[in-house]
């Protein structure tokens, strides 16, 4: 029997790639998204890419804080599981507008959990983040590390993880997988879907990409005095297609085994500096990325990368792609869509 999966935030960067992998894996997918940080065009592209499976995708424009809307969605389809991406994710904005973040991410998730419970759908995959490791005392980060959060966005991830653990403890019918993503980059190899942030990008690779297509003059490198091989920060970059595959592995785990609330890192286990990433992107794109060296960005950790052992062992999943493929696919998306899903005229 074909399984029905509700994907909240499925029009977004990671959600759209995951929706495509789900369709290609034979699942029925219903996306709910309010488009606060995404474009419906992404879903049209997902449909095209899914070709024979395109009819298995439907989209409902709704805010997950709207409980009535969620209730209607669950009344019309019996879902086997939910993958919950919907949330706001800009760290700086979360410091400026903490209540917006608590309202959107926490209230939205609580609503979703309540409606799921009301309808007897008790399998969930949630998008957590390596941000819950803060500035780790050592690397690689294992799932047992103490949790911390340096900003309201990070706290929403931490709180939602705790809420999920409490919900599962209170009712053993729940099965929940918390996935802690490291740094998702790259795009689908078709170049038809990718990351398209609104306004000035906060993250490294979307920024690099916009410099490469001429939308920004240079990249500011935040911090050159870290205790790393070239002084710049180290992160665990993971290809978004690998990340999407990790969700299929998590679903298989939910469907096939008894489990309570489990947490898995999704990363490659390899650390890369900012300058190494820039060099790899320059090579993939043939474009020079002008750099301006600057001080550290407040709140940034020095070195963060994942232990991937638990995901390998228990989800039977590991990342396939390296930074070369990440940069190749990011550039393919950027060069085909220099203004993302919009056109140059839409730029303010």
In eight-state DSSP terms, residue 35 is -
Nearest to 29 by CA among 19, 37, 15: 19
Rounded distance, CA 82 to CA 113, Å?
10
Q: Is 130 in the site for ligand UFG (CB under 6 A)?
A: yes
Rounded distance, CA 334 to CA 244, Å?
20
Which residue in 34, 111, 285, 308 binds ligand NAD (CB under 6 A)? Answer: 34
Q: Is 5 helix (H, G, I), strand (E, B) or coil?
A: strand
Q: Which residues contact 63 (CB under 8 A, 6 or more apart)?
A: 34, 69, 108
Which residue in 3, 4, 35, 67 binds ligand NAD (CB under 6 A)? Answer: 35
Scan residues 101-140 and list those touching ligand NAD (CB under 6 A): 104, 108, 127, 129
In angstroms, the Cα distances linking 227 to 230, 293, 294, 300 are 8, 16, 16, 13
Q: Which does 108 bind (CB under 5 to 8 A by kind): ligand NAD, ligand UFG, none?
A: ligand NAD
Residue written as tokens 């070239």? 230
Scan residues 195-224 and list those touching ligand UFG (CB under 6 A): 202-204, 207, 219-223
3-state helix, strand, coil in the chain (%, to 5): 45, 20, 40
Q: Which does 297 bind (CB under 5 to 8 A by kind): ligand NAD, ligand UFG, none?
A: ligand UFG
Phi, psi (rounded to 5 degrees) for 265: -75, 140
User: Known catalytic residues?
Assistant: 153
Q: Which does 34 bind (CB under 5 to 8 A by kind): ligand NAD, ligand UFG, none?
A: ligand NAD
Nearer to ligand UFG, 119 or 216 (CB): 216
Nearer to ligand UFG, 188 or 235 (CB): 235
Site string for ligand UFG, 64-103 (x = CB under 6 A): -------------------------x-x------------
Q: Is 194 helix (H, G, I), strand (E, B) or coil?
A: coil
Q: Which does 127 bind (CB under 5 to 8 A by kind): ligand NAD, ligand UFG, none?
A: ligand NAD
Rounded distance, CA 318 to CA 41, Å?
30
Nearer to ligand UFG, 45 or 247 (CB): 247
Site string for ligand UFG, 266-305 (x = CB under 6 A): --------x----------------------x--x-----
* Residue whose CB is nearest to ligand NAD in the complex, by number: 12
Rounded distance, CA 10 to CA 66, Å?
17
* Residue whose CB is nearest to ligand UFG in the complex, by number: 233
Rounded distance, CA 306 to CA 92, Å?
24
Nearest to 33 by CA among 49, 48, 18: 18
**Binding residues for ligand UFG (CB under 6 A):** 89, 91, 129-131, 181-183, 202-204, 207, 219-223, 233, 235, 274, 297, 300
**Binding residues for ligand NAD (CB under 6 A):** 9, 11-15, 33-38, 63-65, 85-89, 104, 108, 127, 129, 181, 183-184
């Amino acid at each position: 029997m074909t399984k029905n999966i509700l994907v909240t935030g499925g029009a977004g960067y990671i959600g759209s790639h995951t929706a495509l992998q789900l369709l290609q894996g034979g699942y029925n997918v219903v996306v709910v998204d309010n488009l606060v940080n995404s474009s419906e065009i992404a879903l049209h592209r997902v449909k095209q890419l899914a070709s024979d499976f395109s009819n298995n995708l439907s989209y409902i424009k709704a805010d997950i804080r709207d409980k009535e809307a969620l209730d209607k969605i669950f009344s019309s389809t019996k879902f086997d599981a939910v993958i919950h991406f919907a949330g706001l994710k800009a760290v700086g904005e979360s410091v400026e507008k903490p209540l917006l973040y608590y309202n959107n991410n926490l209230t939205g998730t609580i609503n979703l959990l309540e409606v799921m419970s009301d309808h007897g759908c008790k399998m969930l995959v949630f998008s957590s983040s390596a941000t819950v490791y803060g500035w780790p005392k050592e690397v690689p980060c294992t799932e047992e590390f103490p949790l911390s959060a340096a900003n309201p966005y990070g706290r929403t991830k931490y709180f939602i993880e705790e809420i999920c653990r409490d919900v599962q403890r209170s009712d053993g019918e729940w099965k929940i997988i918390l996935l802690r993503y490291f740094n998702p980059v790259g795009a689908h190899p078709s170049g038809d879907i990718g990351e398209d942030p609104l306004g000035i990008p906060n993250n490294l690779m979307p920024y690099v990409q916009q410099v490469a297509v001429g939308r920004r003059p240079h990249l500011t490198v935040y911090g050159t005095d870290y205790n790393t091989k070239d002084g710049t920060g180290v992160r665990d970059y993971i290809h978004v297609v690998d990340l999407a595959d990790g969700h299929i592995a998590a679903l298989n785990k939910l469907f096939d085994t008894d489990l309570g609330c489990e947490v898995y890192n999704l990363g490659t286990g390899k650390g890369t500096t900012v300058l190494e990433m820039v060099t790899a992107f320059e090579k993939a794109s043939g474009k020079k990325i002008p750099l301006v060296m600057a001080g550290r960005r407040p709140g940034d950790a020095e070195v963060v990368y994942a232990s991937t052992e638990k995901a390998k062992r228990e989800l039977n999943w590991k990342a396939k792609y390296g930074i070369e493929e990440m940069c190749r696919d990011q550039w393919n998306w950027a060069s085909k869509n220099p203004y993302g899903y919009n056109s140059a005229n839409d730029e303010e």
